[in-house]
Amino acid sequence: MKLEEIVLKEKKDYNDLFSNKNAVLIGSATCGNSAGAQIAQKIIKEELEKAEYDCDIVDVGCIGLCYVEPIITVLKPDQPAVFYGNVTKKVARQIVNSHIIKGEPLQEYALGTYGEGRIDGINSLFEEKSMKLQERRILRNCGLIDPTNIGHYLAKGGYSGFMRALAMNSAEIISEMKKAGVRGRGGAGFPTWMKWQFCIDSNQETNYLICNADEGDPGAFMNRSLLESDPHSVLEGILIAAKTIHAEKAYIYCRAEYPLALERLEIAIAQMEENGLLGENIQGSGFNLEIIIKEGAGAFVCGEETALMASIEGERGTPRTRPPFPTTEGLFGKPTVINNVETMASAALILQKGAETYSDVGTKESKGTKTFSLVGQVKNTGLIEVPLGTTLKEVIFDIGGGIVDDGNFKAVQIGGPSGGCVPLHHIDTPIDYSSLIGVGAMMGSGGLVVMDEKTCMVEVARYFLEFIQRESCGKCVPCRLGTKQMLDVLTDITEGKGTEEDLEILPNLAQGIKQGSLCALGQSSPNPVLTTTRFFMNEYESHIKNRICPAKECKEFIQFAIDPQLCDGCMVCLKSCPVGAVSGSKDEVHEIDLDKCIKCGTCMDLCKKKKNAVEVVNAL
């Protein structure tokens, strides 16, 4: 069958599923599975079998509302689809018996509807506040298609971008990418078209393409989610890029910590081969491509392009000096383009929908949308996509729903270890490449870690330095030893051994490391210290001068105590204390032995919901 015919058939089947069938979609990306999606699926299967009711069960990816996972979607003929969240075993049973079998939707568990038509008492999902501000383009298929079924992707217009690119020459494709204004989504924001052009200009026989799916940035999972939910959108971008730069071999470097993404990529690649979208003479065009998956082996620095190439070549993943840039001398010495997962998906989108549609949102210098993983102390954690230029405030408060437990916002860490912590008074900063740099942060790959008052900013800086120090490849002395020294200074401060001198040592070290390091890991490693000292100097000074940790997080500065006025002697803390530090008998006020207490906070955690009698106080 020709691809056009396959597409027609798949469109019909997909529309049929959404308008004429009884079906359940199960959000079964890594996040959904960890929240219990597989358990919900098992229950649904059992209940359907018991009732002998005919209903399809389809695994889909993640729609991004991770905080209410597991999520399932019920499809009935002639009704809009209904998304349900927090689907426990009990809820799953109810949904089957009420909605699926009797056709009676359950308002109380519904997140919203999707598609044409209305259901009383349930709003449309995409009209909810947290969805309305979003512009789901890269994520358009996530949670709505079966990632292991190429037919679904084709039905949604997939591979039409590649078919269009097949009829264009490299200059035309590059011009389309330039018009779209897309910048690399892996961190630095380098214009994608320019990178592709450089590679062509190097004029060699063999070129390579690498899709960087290492996503080592802790707190970021956009790439994982996309690969698990819509792998073909990334693979289509790889086809387009490879065709443009005349590469016949493309590598996907994906971290081993993402087993489900790796599995779904393998399935998708096999489906491409079956449908004549990979291999020799693709779609009769004379273009050949092989895609090879390389599993990462757990080294953050391997996200850096030159280290990544060394790793593919079977070496230790250490960066090398640039120039020569990979586009002139890359993998196995040949010109190589390295692009991020989301950049690849953007290329597919641009060729599918056209440069103009792609760039009709965003700012003058930052076009299109960007996906973010919104995590930390924010209510609605998950995966979002917004037009560039949306403010941090809109993202955290309107989309994210504000701070958990109605706490107060302190900072948002953006750009991972290379980025910075943006404080409350910069919350109106628009998210675009230059504005973020203006407040000492950077776009990075898209991790947004929200922190509330209970987070100590010195401890956050120490945490990042510990991460970087561990992940430094060790090639440059300033990076290897300088970050260790910075870490020691920060550890001292959080342990109550800080001196005022430390505050002078830190900027000096920062200078040296920035100037003396070879790759961006070392060069950006002082950033967490630079932004936290810039915006939260009072916290540093408080640790050093007053021996107080304002967030009451650093163990050295705090102790736990039971308020005798509130304690009713319920024994909960006593029973749960792992070291037996709590004493007291039933119905009498309890006490904590400070010499035994290891400050783990279990007692406070457990008492919070009851009497809230355990409190953290300053130790001095």
Ligand X SMILES: Cc1cc2nc3c(=O)[nH]c(=O)nc-3n(C[C@H](O)[C@H](O)[C@H](O)COP(=O)(O)O)c2cc1C
Q: Which residues bind ligand SF4 (CB under 6 A)?
A: 301, 318-319, 472-476, 479-480, 517-519, 521-522, 560, 577, 579, 581-582, 592, 597-603
**72 in Cβ contact with 85 (< 8 Å):** no
Shortest Cβ 554–another protein spacing (Å): 12
Is the backbone peptide bond immediately before 324 cis, with ω within 30 degrees of 0? Answer: yes
Q: CA 578 → CA 105, 172, 517, 575, 588, distances in Å?
A: 45, 66, 45, 8, 21
Least Cβ distance, residue 607 to ligand SF4 (angstroms): 9
Q: Answer yes or no: are the C-beta atoms of 435 and 427 closer than 8 Å.
A: no
Residues that bind ligand FES (CB under 6 A): 218-219
Please identify, using beta-carbon distances, which residue of 297 and 579 lies nearer to ligand SF4.
Answer: 579
Partner interacting with residue 484 (select from ligand X, ligand SF4, another protein, none; CB below 5-8 Å by kind): none
8 contacts which partner out of ligand FES, ligand X, ligand SF4, none, CB within 5 to 8 A by kind? none
Task: Decide which of ligand X, ligand SF4, another protein, none touches 475; Cβ closer than 5 to 8 Å per partner kind.
Answer: ligand SF4
Tell me the two tokens of residue 546.
């007053």
Touching ligand X, residues 297-326 (CB under 6 A): 300-301, 303-305
Of 45, 93, 164, 294, the one binding another protein by CB under 8 A: 294
| Residue 370: other Cβ atoms inside 10 A | 26
Site for another protein in 171-210 (CB under 8 A): none
Nearer to ligand X, 278 or 519 (CB): 519
Q: Does 446 contact another protein by CB under 8 A? A: no
Report, in Å, the least distance between residue 491 CB and ligand X: 22
Q: Name which of residues 350 to 379 contact another protein (CB under 8 A).
A: 373-377
Give the nearest residue (CB) to ligand X.
Answer: 303
CA distance 212 to 170: 22
**Nearest in space to 255 (alpha carbons), one of 202, 227, 213, 310:** 213
Instruction: For residue 467, give the 3-state DSSP assignment.
Output: helix
> At how many degrees (to 10) do helices 231-244 and 259-274 cross?
60
Q: Are the beta carbons of 85 and 33 closer than 8 angstroms?
A: no
Q: How far is the CB of 399 from another protein (least distance, A)?
A: 13
Helix or strand (DSSP H, E) at 582: strand 582-583
Beta-carbon count within 10 A of 240 CB? 28
Contact pick of 23, 24, 25, 31 for another protein (by CB under 8 A): 31
Residue 212 binds to ligand X (criterion: CB under 6 A): yes
Residue of 374, 519, 603, 607 interacting with ligand X (CB under 6 A): 519
From the list another protein, ligand SF4, ligand FES, none, partner contacted by residue 518 (C-beta under 5 to 8 A by kind): ligand SF4
In whole angstroms, give the CA distance from residue 212 to residue 231. Answer: 14
**Residue 190 CB coordination number (10 Å):** 12
Contact 559, 604 (CB under 8 A): no
Shortest reach from residue 590's CB to ligand SF4, in Å: 9
Instruction: Answer yes or no whether residue 370 interacts with ligand X by CB under 6 A.
Output: no
Which helix (H) or strand (E) segment is 342 a member of?
helix 341-353
- Quick one: which of 10, 47, 59, 217 contacts another protein (CB under 8 A)? 217
d(CA 598, CA 595): 8
Pick one of ligand SF4, ligand X, another protein, none as the site partner of residue 259 (Cβ within 5 to 8 A by kind).
another protein
What is the distance between the alpha carbons of residues 398 and 361, in angstroms, rounded to a whole number? Answer: 19
Our CB check for ligand SF4 shows the closer of 37 and 479 to be 479
The one of another protein, ligand X, ligand SF4, none whose footprint includes residue 256, by CB under 5 to 8 A per kind, is another protein
CA distances (Å), 179 to each of 12, 197, 358, 368, 576, in order? 34, 14, 9, 12, 61
| Region of residue 249 (phi > 0: left; psi between -120 and 50: alpha; otherwise: beta) | beta
Name the residue nearer to ligand X (CB basis): 105 or 317.
317
Nearer residue to another protein within complex by CB, 199 or 449: 449
Closest-CA residue to 57 (of 67, 42, 68) = 42
Least distance from C-beta 220 to ligand X, angstroms? 8
Nearer to another protein, 537 or 579 (CB): 579
Q: How far is the CB of 224 from ligand X (least distance, A)?
A: 11
Our CB check for another protein shows the closer of 10 and 553 to be 553
412 vs 381: CA distance, rounded Å: 13
In the block, tokens 């690849």 appear at 344
The distance of closest approach from Cβ of residue 80 to ligand SF4 in the complex, given in angstroms and rounded to an integer, is 49
Give the x/- contact pattern for ligand X in 338-367, rule: CB under 6 A.
xxx--x------------------------
Which residue in 112, 184, 447, 482 binds ligand X (CB under 6 A)?
Answer: 184
Per DSSP, helices labelled H in 450-588 are: 457-471, 477, 483-494, 502-516, 520-524, 527-541, 572-576
218 binds, among ligand SF4, ligand FES, ligand X, none (CB under 5 to 8 A by kind): ligand FES
Q: How far is CA 428 from CA 71, 389, 410, 446, 535, in A?
A: 32, 10, 14, 18, 15
Phi-psi region of 173 (alpha: psi -120 to 50; beta: other; left: phi over 0): alpha
CB of residue 341 to ligand SF4, shortest distance in Å: 22
**Alpha carbon distance 226, 61 (integer Å):** 8
The contact set with ligand X (CB under 6 A) reads 184-188, 190, 212, 214-217, 300-301, 303-305, 338-340, 343, 445, 519-521
The contact set with another protein (CB under 8 A) reads 30-31, 33-35, 66-67, 69, 215-221, 224-225, 256-259, 294-300, 311-318, 373-377, 381-383, 413, 416, 447, 449, 451, 455, 460, 463-464, 473, 576, 578, 598, 600-602, 605-606
